[in-house]
Structure formats: structure tokens, C-alpha cells
Structure 1
């Protein structure tokens, strides 16, 4: 009978390789099973994904009127500009503006009558007035922030007051002529 130290007993090298590969494979599968739920928990939940976009129906907004909606828990202003408001915004020399942007840069091509902005003053985050019926629209007919007196024009560009920038225009697309998706 052969003993352990006996040179007549040869170890099968393939058996050792197989055991090493099997151990590495089991460890890899175990790591994957452990890490996958952790990584998956970092994905946004269904309610967060649902709030990541907002659809707005434009059909009920008359020229010269604005509505307030909500986008990612922030106010969203959608204004249907009249031709007079568009002309007024286009007549302002960009050199007079603190944050120079033309109305064309702030609206979609061929849809200059629709201005979509976040309703958050760029000074300290207050909600400006001017989107609701009967609200103060400021010295330039756009929006007025009652917190510190910033005045925005019809293109939601800062004209007077402490706000450093224009009201932000979020990413949005026209799904149809009367419906937009923001976000």
C-alpha cells in the first residue's frame, strides 16, 4: 500500500486546477449576488422616475396668459406670449441685459409664443409673481419677485433688482402642438 510520502503516489495536477477554478467561480457568483442588490438599491424609485418629467397641456392657455405647473417639486411657468410681448422682448438690445439672451434662445424654433421657465427667482429662490391672473408683473410686464424686488421682462429675463440671472429655461420638448414634456 502506498503512503503519503511515497514517490509512487502521483498527484493529479488537473484535479487541483479544477478545484481552484471552481472556488474562484463560486466566489465570483457569491460576490455578484451580494453586490447586485446593493447597486440596484441606488437606482431611483418608481415615484422619483415619475416625477422626473412633467406633461403640460397648452390648449387651454390663451395668448397673454400664463399658468403655473410643478416640475420636480419646483414651480414651472408656461406663458403664451402675444405678438406684442414677442415684439417687446425682441426690441430690447442684448447689451442692456445683465444676463444677455434673446427670446429666440429661450424658446423653441417656430414656437416663440411659448415661454417655459422655472418659477424660481435666481437671487434667493423665491417664487416670482406674474403667472397668476391679477398678480403683479413688475415694471417690464413679465414677473416680479416680491422678496427682494427683482423685475423680469416678458421673456423672463432679469431687468432690475438683485437677481443675477434670467429665470431658468428647463429642457422640454413639444410632443404635439398643444402638449409639452418638461424634463
Structure 2
């Protein structure tokens, strides 16, 4: 029968384990500030969402607000603008999307067709389009000629995608929260 001898840990083994543990704690302490500095600044977190009273915006008008450093277009569409957006043949669009897919429901659960909220940055090179311009009375980017309709969908020009719809919700009948 063979005898099994357990090797007793030596002082050297203890020093290796202690040195490794000390090095691991030191490395974590050195890396933590580098990782922590990647968190967003307090001023950025404060702008993560904004609440906006849209009750004073008349039909046919638009306001521009700033959210996360980007312009956001809040447009109170008229019946003619809504009809023009709904009557578009999706086969004619570069980035096919229905008008209803670009809108959100209000506090009553009904789709709010009269309110269009878009990030006002052209999807071509990041310019800011002009409202109520172009042949579709939507948005026109004068830098490179991209033309968007009354739903913010690209119709002509070099832009590859529709204007982006930010995350938003209706808090009440006259207030929205963006972000």
C-alpha cells in the first residue's frame, strides 16, 4: 500500500499568495478611476430627458428644442400635412416607413397624428434641415439637397434614412417627455 504525504505549505507559498492578492488589489485600485471617468457627466445625465409643454404651439407651427445637444423638431401638423404624409406610396420611399410608425399614442391610448417629433439632424452628413421647405413642404437640407416630407421621411437627395424619431411619450394632453 502506498503512503500519501501531504505537503505542508511553506512560508514561501504564503508570500506568493499574499503578493498576488496585493497586486490584484493594487491593479483594481489603479484601473477603477480609468473606468469611472467613462461614466457620463452630471450635466449630461440632467439632459437625459426633458419635459416640454406643447399646448401653446399653434396648428401649422413648429418649435425647436435642444435635447442631448441635438435639435428636436416638435411640429403641430395641420390636417393637410397629415393627409399628405398618409397618402404617400411606400414604394416611392428610400426608407419605407408609414406615417403611423413614426408617431406615438397619447395619454388616452389614441395615436397623436397631429404631433410629429423628430431629431433635426440630416441623416446624410449631420446638417440641420430647414422646416417647411422643399417640394414636399417638410424639411430641406440646403447643404446637399436632401428633401424630406411632412413625416420626416427622405424623398430626394443623398440622405439614406428618414429623420430619426427620438424616444418620447405623452405625459398629458399638452406635455411630452423626450428621452
TM-score interval, smaller chain? 0.7 to 0.9
Q: Does 1:70 align with 2:74?
A: no
Give the Cα–Cα distance (whole angstroms) in 1 for the partners of residues 23 and 123 of structure 2.
53
Correspondence for 1:179: 175
Aligned counterpart for 2:144 among listed residues 131, 142, 148: 148
User: Per the alignment, in what secondary structure is the counterpart of residue 176 of structure 1?
Assistant: coil
Structure 1: unaligned runs, 5 residues or longer: 1-12, 131-135
| CA shift for structure 1 position 98 | 2.0
Tell me the secondary structure at the aligned position of residue 76 of structure 1. Answer: strand
Shift of 1:148: 3.0
Partner of 1:3: none
Q: CA deviation at 1:142?
A: 1.2
Offset from partner CA, 1:48-96 (integer Å, 9 cap, x none): 2223333332122122211111122221111112233212211111112
- In structure 2, stretches of 5+ residues that fail to align are 1-7, 106-110
> Deviation of residue 15 (structure 1)?
7.1
Residues 1-183 of structure 1 mapped to structure 2, 5 A cutoff: 13=8, 16=11, 21-109=17-105, 110-130=111-131, 136-183=132-179
CA distance, structure 2, for counterparts of residue 51 and residue 79 of structure 1? 21
CA 1:79–1:31 in 2, change beyond 3 Å: closer, same or farther? Answer: same
Are the aligned partners of 1:59 and 1:178 in contact in 2 as well (CA < 8 Å)?
A: yes
Q: For 1:46 and 1:140, how far apart are their aligned partners in 2?
A: 41
Deviation string, structure 1 residues 90-130 (Cα, Å, up to 9, x no partner): 11111122221111111113222221111122233221111
After TM superposition, the score normalised by the length of structure 1 is 0.76
Q: Secondary structure at the match of 1:117?
A: strand
Q: CA deviation at 1:32?
A: 2.8
Q: How many residue pairs end up in the alignment?
A: 167
RMSD (Å) for aligned C-alpha atoms: 2.4
CA distance in 1, matches of 2:10, 2:144: 79
